[in-house]
Amino acid sequence: MKLSLWPALPLAISSCLGQLAYAASDNGFVEDSSLTLTNRNFYFYRNNLNNPGGQNYRDEWAHGISLDYRSGYTQGIVGFGIDAYAQLGIKLDSGKGRTGTGLLPVGADGRAEDDYSEAGGALKARISQTELKYGNLTPLNPVFGTGNARLFTQQANGFQLTSRELKGLLLDAGHFTSGNDSASTNSDGALKALYAGVETRSVDYLGGSYALNDQLSVSLYGSQFTDIWRQYYANANYTYPVSENQSLNLDFNIYRTNDTGQSLAGKIDNTTWSMAAAYKVGAHRLTLAYQRVDGDEPFDYLGFDQQPGASIFLANSIQIVDFNAPNERSWQLRYDLDMAPFGVPGLSFMSRYVNGNHIDDSHYDGGVNGAYGRYGSDGKRWERDIEARYVVQSGTAKDLSVRVRQATLRSTRQVAQADTTDNDEIRVIIEYPLSIF
Active site residues: 175, 227, 311
Instruction: Find residue 156's DSSP bridge partners.
Output: 137, 179
Half-sphere exposure of 214 (CA within 13 A, CB side): 3
- CA-nearest of 359, 363, 382, 221 to 293 is 359
Assign residue 82 a region (left: φ > 0; alpha: ψ between -120 and 50; beta: otherwise): beta
For residue 157, give the nearest of 148, 170, 144 by alpha carbon. 144
DSSP 308: B
- Chain length of the chain: 437
Cβ atoms of 71 and 82 closer than 8 Å: yes
Number of alpha helices (DSSP H) and beta strands (DSSP E) in the chain = 2, 21
SS3 116: strand
In 10 A of CB 28, how many CB atoms? 17
Residue 30 CA, distance from chain mean position: 31
User: DSSP class of residue 106?
Assistant: B
Distance CA 266, CA 365 (A): 8
Question: Which DSSP string do the residues of 182-217 spell out, in sequence order?
Answer: TT---TTBPEEETTTTEEES-EEEEEEEEESSSSEE
- Residue 76 has what DSSP assignment? S
DSSP 165-180: -STTEEEEEEEEEEEE
Q: Report the distance separating Cα 175 and Cα 164, nearest Å.
A: 19
For residues 251 and 359, give the distance between their C-alpha atoms in angstroms, rounded to a whole number: 24
- Which 3 state secondary structure label does DSSP give 315? coil
In the chain the first and final C-alpha atoms are separated, in Å, by: 46
